[in-house]
Structure 1
Amino acid sequence: MRKYRGFLIGLAMGGMLMTALPSMAATQKTTYTLTEASYEVEVNGAAYFDPELPVLNYKGNTYVPLRSVGDLLGANVAWDAAQRKVVIQSNGEHLCNDAFCNVKVSGSGGQYTVTGEARVFEAVMNYAVEDGHDYVLEDFHMLDEGAPAWSPFTLELDIPPDKLPDNGTLMLELFEYSAKDGSKINVISVPLETFAP
């Protein structure tokens, strides 16, 4: 019996390793090595530059953050938390989600008029303007009616000259706060203006 004891222990250990290794391998993710691109990306005459989120290259392919590309193209890039997916809408005249629709922007140099329709809880829509790093304006707007009705809105935004970015895109976020947990929901990001040095 002693003669077979070592053999049985070895067989048991081998069996455990054979079942553990494939499951360990399945949980490992592939690692990619990207390098900062030595060239610039230009879209419609505007160069993309962000030292915190640089253009990257992997095997001859260029990688730029989705939101940054959306900003340069005037497209809306939003995270749909409910469905756990990124949503890109390229037609700037019809930016829509469950709470905001037909959002349009006019103006320049810090003076913007934003129009559209909203259906938000208790008729309170919130908005913020960010320069790519920080919020330069945060406020709310009362609609004529709350959800489920759609209500038209007009926002007159006045951003002081010292708050405008030297390089980058000024973005407007429209959103509402969840009645359930107070988190931002139905966020829609709208480019106001792209600035270049």
Structure 2
Amino acid sequence: MRSLLCAIMLFPPFALTAFAIDGDRQMDEYQINAFRNVKAEGSNGNYLVRGEARPLEGTFYFSVEDGHVEYIKEKQVFMKDKDLNWEPIQIQIQIPKETLPDNGTLLINLYERNREGRIMNSYPIILQRFK
């Protein structure tokens, strides 16, 4: 996942389609078509992520990491509506407090996979910053 973020920073055409935003901010619909109005709330290992999704294949994935440690390995989410209509999503994240980083930024990465298994439409959201 780190290499994906590095590639985004090195190749500006991708910068508009994948970057981390604070959980209380929103991204415009035209930037990433698979996810919109995604917000995160919570702290100290308990987070709630809400928004809307319309993944191309009716499924999307998420993982939680800080750039060094993966706290939640890839999980798949199946949508009810496969007709590309916006559907509400809600993801509850629980990470034991003692395993959280002392310093860094905890992210949830929402994304799709194409038929070849490659990540597309990456949508990282900051869950919490630790100092």
Answer whether TM exceeds 0.5 for this pair: yes
Return the letter of the residue paired with 1:174.
L
Note the residue ranges of structure 1 that are not aligned, 5 or more in a row.
1-66, 68-77
In 1, the alpha carbon distance for the partners of 2:39 and 2:121 equals 17
Larger Rg: 1
| Greater RCO (Cα-Cα under 8 Å, separation 6 or more) | 2
Q: Secondary structure at the match of 1:144?
A: coil
Note the residue ranges of structure 2 that are not aligned, 5 or more in a row.
none
User: Among 126, 130, 154, which residue is 2:90 paired with?
Assistant: 154
In 1, the alpha carbon distance for the partners of 2:60 and 2:103 equals 29
Per-residue deviation, residues 84-109 of structure 1 (Å, max 9, x unmatched): 33125867432351100000111110
Q: Secondary structure at the match of 2:98?
A: helix
In 2, the alpha carbon distance for the partners of 1:104 and 1:175 equals 15
Per-residue deviation, residues 16-52 of structure 1 (Å, max 9, x unmatched): xxxxxxxxxxxxxxxxxxxxxxxxxxxxxxxxxxxxx
User: Among 124, 149, 152, which residue is 2:59 paired with?
Assistant: 124
RMSD: 2.5
Q: Secondary structure at the match of 2:25?
A: helix
- Name the structure where strand makes up a greater proportion of residues: 2
- Name the structure where helix makes up a greater proportion of residues: 1
Corresponding residue number in structure 2 for 1:86 = 15
The alignment covers a number of residue pairs equal to 117
Q: Secondary structure at the match of 2:42?
A: strand
Give the share of equivalent positions with the same residue, in percent.
32
Q: Does 1:111 align with 2:46?
A: yes
Corresponding residue number in structure 1 for 2:34 = 99
CA drift of 1:147 comes to: 4.7
CA contact (8 A) 2:105 2:129 kept: yes
Corresponding residue number in structure 2 for 1:135 = 70
CA contact (8 A) 1:79 1:187 kept: no
In 2, the alpha carbon distance for the partners of 1:146 and 1:122 equals 7
Q: Does 1:175 align with 2:114?
A: no
Q: Secondary structure at the match of 2:57?
A: helix
In 1, the alpha carbon distance for the partners of 2:107 and 2:20 equals 15
Change beyond 3 A, Cα 1:161–1:102: same
